[in-house]
């Protein structure tokens, strides 16, 4: 189980190491947009939409990596003071009852919209924007899959932790 969990972790580590550069690109692009607008009086809708695309990519594809690094917000009233065995039980409940079902439902209900968007190669959000809304919508199933992958990895680790303690 540990080998499978490590392999699943590698997926989100790889995605996280690439996606982290979106933050830098987004910051630099926003600087260029402000410079062009307020210094030179020039504005491009596609440049502004690029910030939106980068922001969406950073958060949607970075969610699995954030879960891997235990960076998601927790309401840890009980969790922080719990023993490792109890923490594993809480995590297993969270994976099985909350995270996995919600990601599967989200994937199921958004897939037709994403499929239709690809079928017509849906155009820009705004006139003069980036003609690739279908790529932006594709982040939704990618988000779901990456969180499912990381949830399964965490679930395997927590089950192994419980077995070791037994």
Read off the pLDDT of residues 49-108 as tens digits, 9 standing for 90 and up: 999 999 999 999 999 999 999 888 877 788 888 899 999 999 999 999 999 999 999 999
Q: N- to C-terminal Cα distance for the chain?
A: 16
- C-alpha distances (whole Å) from 114 to each of 102, 110, 134 are 18, 6, 7
Q: Could you tell me which of 132, 152, 102, 142 has the C-alpha nearest to residue 15? A: 142
Is the pLDDT confidence value at 165 over 80?
Answer: no
- Taking the C-alpha atoms of residue 65 and residue 80, their distance in angstroms, rounded to an integer, is 21
Annotated domain spans of the chain: 2-165
Sorted by sequence, the CB contacts under 8 Å of residue 44 that are 6+ apart come out as 33, 36, 128
Radius of gyration of the chain (CA): 20
Asked if residues 72 and 154 have their Cβ atoms less than 8 Å apart, the reply is: no
DSSP 40: S
- The two structure tokens encoding residue 25: 């690109």
Query: pLDDT digits over 139-163, tens only?
Result: 999 999 999 999 999 999 999 999 9
């Amino acid at each position: 189980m540990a080998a499978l969990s490590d392999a699943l972790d590698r997926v989100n580590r790889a995605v996280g190491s690439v996606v982290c550069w979106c933050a830098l690109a987004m910051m630099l692009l926003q600087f260029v947009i402000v410079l062009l607008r307020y210094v030179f009086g020039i504005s491009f809708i596609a440049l502004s939409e690029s910030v939106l695309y980068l922001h969406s990519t950073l958060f949607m594809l970075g969610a699995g990596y954030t879960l891997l690094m235990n960076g998601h917000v927790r309401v840890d009233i009980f969790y922080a003071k719990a023993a490792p065995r109890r923490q594993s039980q809480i995590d297993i409940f969270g994976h099985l009852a909350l995270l996995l079902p919600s990601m599967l439902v989200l994937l199921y209900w958004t897939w037709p919209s994403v499929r239709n968007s690809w079928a017509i190669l849906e155009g820009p959000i705004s006139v003069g924007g980036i003609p690739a809304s279908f790529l932006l919508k594709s982040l939704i199933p990618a988000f779901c899959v990456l969180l499912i992958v990381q949830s399964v990895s965490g679930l395997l680790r927590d089950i192994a932790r419980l077995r070791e303690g037994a």
